[in-house]
Amino acid sequence: MATESVSLIEALVLGTVQGLTEFLPISSSAHLRVVPAVLGWHDPGAAYSAVLQLGSVLAVISYFFKQLISIASGSITAISTKDFKNNDFRLAVGIVIGTMPICVIGLMLKKLLESQDSPLRSLMVVGSVSIVMGLLLLVADKVGSQKKDLTQVGIKEGVLVGFGQALALIPGCSRSGSTLTVAMLLGLNRSDAARFSFLLGIPAIVLSGLLELKELVEIGFQQSDVINLVCGLVASTIVSYLSIAWLIKFLQNHSTWGFVVYRVIFGIYVITLVLSQTAKS
């Protein structure tokens, strides 16, 4: 059965929303679920949302390209010289191990997460999770020592932040927000916590996006669907790159308080929206 078409305007709006919210700690999945609902569009589904994330992947790879090359070459050198305390090697291991939780849990819950009737995709869940995770981000910002930098990231940080990333399978949680929260609780400073969050997200988002793209192609596309999806990807890529650059610079001198306020207001709005619709029905 072919997937329901997404118009050019919808694709551009959703691509822009994806770019704005993927790397800011406010949940891209929540906004990709709520924006269509508010505008009266159909839910594009988790599969379409995952494909739009490929635009964010292109942006984060472009932004961190030199660092990724450095991590790869440094890790190869560390393995050849058996220098397993090398910073690049430790960071690479942290990223690899940190990717495992979301991959395993994601595959286990894949059908549940992709079903448009899934309780996890309900607006009430989106709103509630947005508030809870926003408050946890505030706690992390207040109690985290923020004394560690990226050179001190290793296996422990990779595992714990990786489980934080797995929470983002729930719409409203925010991959960026949950990983940033855990990283700051582990003592990383805000800016490097964001950097590790972005680097950690690359493998998971690439794998998820490619898998969903394959399935969407198998389901069937009209030519207009392909064109619209490409336009959405371009919008997602451009806006994602700008968001990454802005957030890293912002967190060097500012707290996450503004994002916490936004998440709480957003969550209250979504819950109010659901309750008002329920009252009318």
Q: For position 258, what pLDDT does the model report? A: 96
pLDDT-derived band of residue 281, with 50, 70 and 90 as boundaries?
very low
Whether residue 212 is predicted with pLDDT greater than 80 in this model: the reply is no
Most confident of 49-63, 105-119, 200-214, 257-271: 257-271
Whether residue 189 is predicted with pLDDT greater than 70 in this model: the reply is yes
- Read off the pLDDT of each residue in 211-235 and give the average, rounded to a whole number: 76
Query: Percent of the chain at pLDDT above 70?
Result: 92
Q: For position 1, what pLDDT does the model report? A: 41
For residues 81-110, b (16+ Cβ closer than 10 Å) or e, as one string?
A: eeeeebbbbbbbbbbebbbbbbbebbeeeb
Q: For position 24, what pLDDT does the model report? A: 94
Whether residue 2 is predicted with pLDDT greater than 50 in this model: the reply is no
Q: For position 52, what pLDDT does the model report? A: 86
Token representation of residue 14: 């959703």
- Read off the pLDDT of each residue in 195-211 and give the average, rounded to a whole number: 88
pTM of the entire predicted model: 0.87
Question: Of the ranges 69-83, 205-219, 230-244, which one carries the lowest mean pLDDT score?
Answer: 205-219
What span, in angstroms and rounded, lies between the C-alpha atoms of 280 and 274?
Answer: 10
Amino acid letter for position 254: H
The model's pLDDT over 147-172, given as tens digits with 9 standing for 90+, comes to 999 999 999 999 999 999 999 888 88
pLDDT-derived band of residue 136, with 50, 70 and 90 as boundaries?
very high
Contacts 24+ apart (CB under 8 A), 49-52: 49/14, 49/18, 50/208, 50/209, 50/211, 50/212, 50/213, 51/209, 51/212, 51/213, 51/216, 51/229, 51/233, 52/14, 52/15, 52/18, 52/232, 52/233, 52/236
- What 3-state DSSP class applies to 156? helix
The model's pLDDT over 63-118, given as tens digits with 9 standing for 90+, comes to 999 999 999 999 999 999 999 989 999 999 999 999 999 989 988 887 777 666 77
Q: What is the mean pLDDT of the chain?
A: 88
